[in-house]
Amino acid sequence: MKIPVTPLAFGSAAIGGLYAPVPPDTGVHTVQRALEAGMRYLDTAPHYGAGKAERILGAALSDVPRESFTISTKVGRVLRPLRPGESPDSAGFEGEPPVKREWDFSRDGVLRSLESSLERLGIDRVDMVYLHDPDAHEDEVYASAYPALAELREQGVVGAIGAGMNQTEMLTRFVRRLDLDVVLCAGRYTLLDRSAEAELLPACVERGTAVVVGGAYNSGLLAGGTTYNYESAPVAMLERVAELERVCTRYDVPLRAAALQFPMRHPAVASVLVGCRTPEEVTENAALFALDVPEDLWKEL
């Protein structure tokens, strides 16, 4: 990885209000605890709380030496104020400002999105920029969004560029066709879903593309919740988690620890993102990530 990242990284969707509101001061304390715990790579996006997560990060990082952390944000959604008669977005984030998200993978959209992110973050540069969820915009990626990011990288405005998605097929095409430094693969290299093993991870090894894994808990199911891929988990998945739980219990290892550490066992993976809502969640996840897991357990899993 050409940009330094920590093995355990901080994902900011939760402090942006995903599923439940987070007071700004709680968000700031959570980010500060993450830095104390060694999570010095922080990832965000305009989508997370319609700019709220970026503002909280900006407040938390205002007195932190810029060279002491790595930060990434994303492009693809541009935020604008609500027009008369418009309703706010229903994007799963609580307590966000009254704005609308608009898909925009044009060159101008990429540049405007990044400029707005820098303003919310209160910094003059980010280390990495991802194309965010371009599932329905693949042609625009090739035509305008990727060239814009490549230009920014060539100019030294950003250090690394990539794409972040909840699927592997398009990410694999991007890795093979474009000069990406990194991909953010969410929920597709976990104890429940190893689909990234088939093509994406081998392509990344071949091309020298680093991988950041998000969604190691599969949106909560592997952390004691009942949601899988942001929806109610099917019975088959609940049964599979129960079996994983039984295996881990025999080794006296929490399933959450195994889930969080699993992605780092692949040589292509540089970092695992974990979303934390409170300082206590940061402390708990850092301890789980550092827990010793016997090799025999990995063999069984």
- Cross-strand pairs, 164: 132, 184
Contacts 24+ apart (CB under 8 A), 284-288: 285/8, 285/256, 285/260, 286/8, 286/37, 286/38, 286/39, 288/254, 288/256, 288/257, 288/260, 288/261
Q: Pick the catalytic residue: 19, 41, 48, 228? A: 48
Number of Cβ atoms within 10 Å of the Cβ of 89: 18
Does the active-site annotation cover 142? Answer: no
Q: Which of 111, 105, 161 is nearest to 134 (CA)?
A: 105
- Cross-strand pairs, 132: 164
Angle of helix 24-36 relative to helix 279-290, nearest 10 degrees, comes to 30
Which residue in this structure is represented by tokens 């008369």? Answer: 84
Q: Taking a C-beta distance cutoff of 8 angstroms, is the pair 20, 94 a contact? A: yes
C-alpha to C-alpha distance for 246 and 255, rounded to whole angstroms: 9
Give the distance from CA 282 to its chain's centroid.
15
- Annotated catalytic residues are 48
